Structure 1
Amino acid sequence: MRAFNGKIARLALAAALSASAATNALAEDTDLIVFDWSGYELPEFHPGYIAKNGDSPTYAFFGDEEEAFQKIRAGFKADLSHPCSQSVVKWREAGLLQPLDTSKIEGWNDLNPGIMAMKDLAMTADGTAWFMPWDWGNTLLTYNSEKVDEKEVQSLKAFADPKFKDRVSIGDNVDDAYALASLAIGLKDWTQMTDAQFAEASAFLREVHENVRLYWADTTEIVQAMSGGEVDLAWAWNDAAVQAAASGAPIKSNRDAAEGLSTWVCGYVRLKDAPGSEEKAYDYLNAISAPEVATFLITDWGYGHANAKSMAGIDPKVLAEKGYDDVEKFVDKTLFQSPVPTELKQKMIAEFEKIKAGY
């Protein structure tokens, strides 16, 4: 009877999610709820899960990690979620996570050693695992090569150049916004940001705001905006240029901007008091680590996979084309989106909201 009632509860939850426009859920297998960025529900990311369980999980979506954090803290229930490096410590310290049982994750020992060495990211000092790194990539200057001369976008300062008024888009995402601003003022380690540097970075974002036509919420939105000619210059993730170019649009990324680019690592966590199946949660984590998923991730999205063994099996020509053949070069002149002090993060969130509102 307990299992039956649990199933009823999960069905009710999935139905509620499907009816919620705010949460924007996609209900499939109701035994597993994944709270994720839009786009990661594609079956190509978890074919092994579908093969074993007959369907995809139920998905609920968030626009950025602060939104996800607030919803979970307010009581929203899911089994797995997909935060990034700058948020994992905050989520863990807020008591939103439960440890991972690494003995149930088939590719755990194959995860990229460099990523796993990042302090307090995947594991705490006592050896407890909280986060499975999965995808990594950049946020970088992206432009329409038919309407913007490459010489005009050799600096991130271009985002604030009046010549691009109403032609710019940056993400509606506080982390990417302040990564851009930090780089623009010459700061590579935002964990050491002073009050004066915060004020300088915020002032730069206010200049950029004068040029912004839209703050994009997901890759689909920015790809459509750039491919359709609505904007010509964007601060966007790798996949924006990859997907736009695949559809024939003249969109390129500039990895060589003078001030650099931003690098991030995202992955999956198990949420505390998860309502669904523990077995299926690990089925999902194993499915997304498969070699064919790594190939899809880098080929179709332009992102690296955290499973080093899976990455090693990808055609070297593809790795070179996407820029992943030389990891040291990939992260050269980069601001790594590592966790910032909580007080600073709250200041960023509050200030970014003011900037977007025109204040």
Structure 2
Amino acid sequence: MTLEVFARALPKAELHLHLAGAVKAETFLKLARKNGVNLPPFAEVEELYRYDNLVDFLQVYDLVARSVVSADDFHLITYEALAHVANAGGRYVEFFFSPQVHQDAGISYETMFSGILKAMDDADKDFGLISRLIPAINRELTPDRAFEFLDLVLPYRSEKVIGIGLDYDEEPFPPAPFKPVYERAKKAGMRLTAHAGEAGPAANVRDALDLLSVERIDHGYRVLEDPALVRRCIDDGIAFTVCPSSTVILTHWRDLTAADHPIHAMLDAGLKLVVATDDPPMLQTDLAKEYRLLSETMSLDRRTLADLALNSLDAAWLDESTKRDWRAAWSNEISHLLTAGERAA
């Protein structure tokens, strides 16, 4: 069994996926033309997704988001994103979307939500892929706008709208000002996560834990700057959703083979890592490829990949009974995959 086949067959959850970042380039072009969004010059459609830093990436991300207008548009991009996860062997997904960028373009939350929810139901029916939605706050906007965000989101709280996140450009916009917003969301029963420690310092990871009371950290690479915080996260079982291709394209950590690459160092330190894609079509990847990349660049064996897949289930916001049942089933499936791989070798 090849590594590609193993990585695709491995049962796993996707816990760090941005909806607007999961739009195929061809779909982006189609929606932009339909909805009158001006695009930068390009010769081939793939050129629309070329950037080498987070700021330039976010400019394209906003163009993609502004190309999505109708409920049918939201259905299309959500269904395609979930199909992409299912094709890579994902069994469960918790995905972010950015309602504020759509709201600022005049789109009602009801329009966004109806298209997304129908696509989630259709993906469950067509692929057996269970999905949950995490509306994410644009940290570049004011905390007052974040409270308005909650006013949009909380009336639609359900088992499918499971929590909130905090994203966009981290470095100039630390987590601390969003403490009251997160306190209100927690009281309303929302699960909590935040992007921290990607572009910002280790202190942002600490503040996300202490001030925002998050249950897991998205990215979190710079936690390594604070050994005491690393030890605390290990002791508390904090999961970090790490995105290998994203680091190569959007950060200064370009070499996955380097021993000091933060994902490698986080693994070596014993932190609980969850492999994720971030923005798969925009980064030319999928969930299976991210597992394969780690194996090939960091010399991870298949047992380690299997452990990472089980981490994704442990960190998922599922009820404990479901997680227990799925873990038993996934572990059994993984044992057969590992045995098949040994026989093939």
Q: Looking at secondary structure, tell me which structure has more helix per residue.
A: 2
Structure with larger Rg: 1
Tell me whether the two structures share a fold, i.e. TM-score over 0.5: no
Q: Greater relative contact order: 1 or 2 (C-alpha under 8 angstroms, separation 6 or more)?
A: 1
TM-score (norm 2): 0.29
